[in-house]
Structure 1
Amino acid sequence: MLYLMTLDDRQEILRQLDVEAESYDFPMLDNGYYYHGDQKMTIFRDDKRWAILLEVLAFNNHQDGLDGLITIANVFGNCLTGWNDNDNFNYFASDNGVETFLINDTIYSPYLNPDAKSILVREQEVPIISDRQHYKLKGIEFEHEGKITPWEFLRGLIPEYSNLFWVTREEISTKIPTDLPIFMILDSWHHPDLAVGEKPSETETFQQIAEAIMTGNKHLYNTTEINNTHWTNWPEGGTL
């Protein structure tokens, strides 16, 4: 297969990611308004086109119910048919019969309703686990004795139910052409720390991703940087 991209394309990929980072359209995993949960990167390419779909599953700390559980889907590329806008925010979870979370004047924080037994995600029933040991085994430390907050609940769903929250190929077709093939999928990677001014182009990870896209050789992505996308690495997320 003849790969027609050039070094200029490599630089354009990195330039676009940096520009989007400066305009806050590149995910900040320690965003003060979102408790980080999970993430996924889907890379698309052919001989002349490329696109990156960066998804973040998080909980908005300005919400009290399941409407705070959100999938933010940012897109980048040279062939996009839609841009980063309000359509980036996707809500796939809903209550199943009773309110999933309650709030009172004691802790001023939403917490898991003891009477809630499941939620719906894309109309699929997902059981609610109230056993605190389940959360502790995932490294989750509780903020309130005897209560489970929405972001703790979200992190308890990961990774078993993460796939229910990612956008489908059809859903993203309004922004990424349906005939553009998937090239690579990453569930974790080394993410730039935007809060301290680090740019995507300054990381070996995204330099290699750009190189892989340009050449069509996914084996060029073999970074020595340590994956840091797990939510435990971004403790400032959701704390504003």
Structure 2
Amino acid sequence: MQGVLQAAGILTVFDRAAEQRRFPEPAHPYSYLMAARLHAFGDADRWALVVETVGYNPRAANVVDVMHGVGNCLLGTTEHWGTQHLRRVDNFQDLFDDRPWPPRYRQLPITVRGHELHVDAAPTIAAQDLFRLLVPDHKDLLLGDEVELRHLVPADLPRLLSLDDWHHTALRVKPPSAERERARLRHDSLMRHVPPDQRVPFEVRPSDIETYRQIAEVLATADPNKYQPTLPPNTHWTNWPMSGAL
């Protein structure tokens, strides 16, 4: 019973992180998703979840690996969540000629963390499509290494699970407030008139999603066998066409 109670507490932290917009979302409107990876760490007393979403972010003018950390032992913060933003392309400013507009790819090697990567692409290729060509052969260069992960997670905390593919449902989360409760009551009233198979939930929190319920069990028990998904993985970038839409 203790493991179930602990898992419930972990799910509460996941939901609170989502209320603060600190939980990972593959369809982030500012970043064209390229790759993702999930890491679970834990022992008898400590736990940490780190989810990476790598994407081309036009506002940052780079490919950025965002490491979303949630846990009770994160380094560098007194909160239950922390984030690292890691720029991956060393020579981004050299890659495009922006006159005339739109920018044209100069067909130069792309330098990622000191590695020159050759890409066969036309000058007219869109930047997000260009960088996504790196993923099949160079995903590990784009995602975090052990040193970077351990900036968030204690070095002695065992790794329980790593996933490159899992099932995520787009989050819809509102922080608790009087207005939220009024909106929920209005939503529930409207949904009573909708056929059950067409009803839309008022919110979708991490605790509503099978993946994160099972990950919470993994973290609570330090047992990776608690992860037994029944839903197909969908974290490949092709499943999130609205990422980068803004």
Match of 2:132 in 1: 155
- Taking a change above 3 Å as real, the CA distance of residues 172 and 9 of structure 1, as seen in their structure-2 partners, is same
Q: Aligned letter for 1:123?
A: G
Match of 1:129 in 2: 120
Take 1:159 and 1:221, find their aligned partners in 2: how far apart are those partners?
26
- Taking a change above 3 Å as real, the CA distance of residues 174 and 217 of structure 1, as seen in their structure-2 partners, is closer
Match of 1:91 in 2: 87
Q: Shift of residue 82 of structure 1?
A: 2.4
Q: Shift of residue 184 of structure 1?
A: 0.5
1:103 matches 2:98: yes
Match of 1:76 in 2: 70
- Give the aligned length: 214
Q: Shift of residue 55 of structure 1?
A: 0.5
Take 1:5 and 1:202, find their aligned partners in 2: how far apart are those partners?
21
| Percentage of pairs with the same residue | 30
1:210 matches 2:216: yes
Q: CA RMSD in A?
A: 2.2
- Taking a change above 3 Å as real, the CA distance of residues 25 and 11 of structure 1, as seen in their structure-2 partners, is same
Q: Deviations over 1:42-94 (max 9, x none)?
A: 1111121111111010011325xxx4211001101111122455x61101221
Unmatched runs of 5 consecutive residues or more in structure 2: 174-202
Q: Shift of residue 5 of structure 1?
A: 6.2
Unmatched runs of 5 consecutive residues or more in structure 1: 133-145
Structure 1: 4+ residue segments shifted above 3 A = 104-107
Does the 8 A contact of 1:33 with 1:61 survive in 2?
Answer: yes
With normalisation by structure 2, the TM-score equals 0.79
- Taking a change above 3 Å as real, the CA distance of residues 126 and 195 of structure 1, as seen in their structure-2 partners, is farther
- Taking a change above 3 Å as real, the CA distance of residues 5 and 125 of structure 1, as seen in their structure-2 partners, is farther
- Taking a change above 3 Å as real, the CA distance of residues 10 and 148 of structure 1, as seen in their structure-2 partners, is same
Q: Which has the larger radius of gyration?
A: 2
1:188 matches 2:188: no
Q: Aligned letter for 2:62?
A: G
Does the 8 A contact of 2:30 with 2:245 survive in 1?
Answer: yes
